[in-house]
Amino acid sequence: MSTPFLVEYKGNCHCKAFKFIFKAPEIKQTFVCACSICYKNGYLWGFPSEGVVDVVKGGTESTLKSYQFGNCTHKFCPTCGTSVLAHLANGTIAINLRTLHEFDATALPEVARDNGANEPAYRVPEPLDVGPVPKGTIVYQGSCHCGAVRYAQLASEPLQEAKECNCSICHRDAALWVYPGTPTVIFAGLTSLTEYTFGLGRTYHGFCGSCGVSIRERFVNTKLEGFEGRDRTRKVALNVRTMSGVDLGELTIKKHDGRLGSKAGPYDAGW
């Protein structure tokens, strides 16, 4: 049997502190797992040929942070929050294909794998006690995976849609955003939240510093053209992947082209 032709793929976390190269037969599909951590991170998995990954900047131990759940070690950048790869118990390295340079993993067919039965029984973090709420109020509870950061959103009507943005950071985070009013969201554990901004510095992307799950976006006011007179702090973005009991299949997912519409210009991965 002939040896398959190998394609070289390059990838990096968003802040470019960690960069890598690997070779594999042309990637024509992604693997999607429905376990608790893969669901929250929205991973699209791929596997390097012979499990070889050449790290060309940073180090898997010196640059990336580890989050252990079950028999899998997830590695994410503690600066920008990008979840890059995972080490499986059998020695296999899984790459989050969302991190690849000039590669749209979302356009590929997905192969579903549900390893939820193989993971430890995941305990959803305790919900926040929000006290009495007005009649008809729906309380959405959410958290990162480890439970260090939790929140409750008080909504007047059920969630019906979320936004999927393809900009360089949202694509990596697999975030699906909703935009409630800031006063309607109660947070706990914000000391465990790490914020990362880039470009024009008008949006702060918040992720858990322990498990790396993307949770929210915090907006700040700006004097940039087109934003005059707008109070951007009135709303906060929540990643619905982190909400307990929300079925993504029942939501309308609206695509947003943040890659081409960014006022900061195109993202440069430095390759």
- List, for residues 207-251, the tens digit of each pLDDT value: 999 999 999 999 998 766 666 667 889 999 999 999 999 999 999
Q: So what's the pLDDT on residue 223?
A: 67
User: Does the pTM of the predicted model rise above 0.85?
Assistant: yes
Domains, in order of start, for the chain: 6-113 (2.170.150.70), 138-256 (2.170.150.70)
The answer, yes or no, to whether residue 1 has pLDDT greater than 60, is no
The answer, yes or no, to whether residue 267 has pLDDT greater than 80, is yes
The answer, yes or no, to whether residue 266 has pLDDT greater than 70, is yes
- Per-residue pLDDT band at 35 (split at 50, 70, 90): very high
Q: Which of 9-13, 45-49, 194-198 has the lowest mean pLDDT?
A: 45-49
- Per-residue pLDDT band at 263 (split at 50, 70, 90): low
Task: Give the DSSP H/E element, type plus range, for residue 35.
Answer: none
The answer, yes or no, to whether residue 165 has pLDDT greater than 90, is yes
Q: Cα-atom radius of gyration of the chain, to the nearest Å?
A: 19
The answer, yes or no, to whether residue 4 has pLDDT greater than 90, is no
**Rounded Cα–Cα distance for residues 270 and 72 (Å):** 30
The answer, yes or no, to whether residue 203 has pLDDT greater than 60, is yes
Beta strands in the chain (DSSP E): 6-12, 19-25, 30-33, 45-46, 53-57, 65-69, 72-76, 83-87, 93-96, 110-113, 138-143, 150-155, 161-165, 177-178, 185-188, 193-196, 203-208, 214-219, 236-239, 252-256
- Per-residue pLDDT band at 68 (split at 50, 70, 90): very high
Query: Do strands 72-76 and 6-12 pair parallel, antiparallel, or not at all (unpaired)?
Result: unpaired
Average pLDDT of the segment spanning 183-203: 96
The answer, yes or no, to whether residue 76 has pLDDT greater than 60, is yes
Q: So what's the pLDDT on residue 228?
A: 65
Average pLDDT of the segment spanning 142-152: 99
Average pLDDT score over the chain: 93
- Per-residue pLDDT band at 5 (split at 50, 70, 90): confident
Q: So what's the pLDDT on residue 2?
A: 64
3-state secondary structure at position 248: helix
Residue with tokens 């991190």: 99
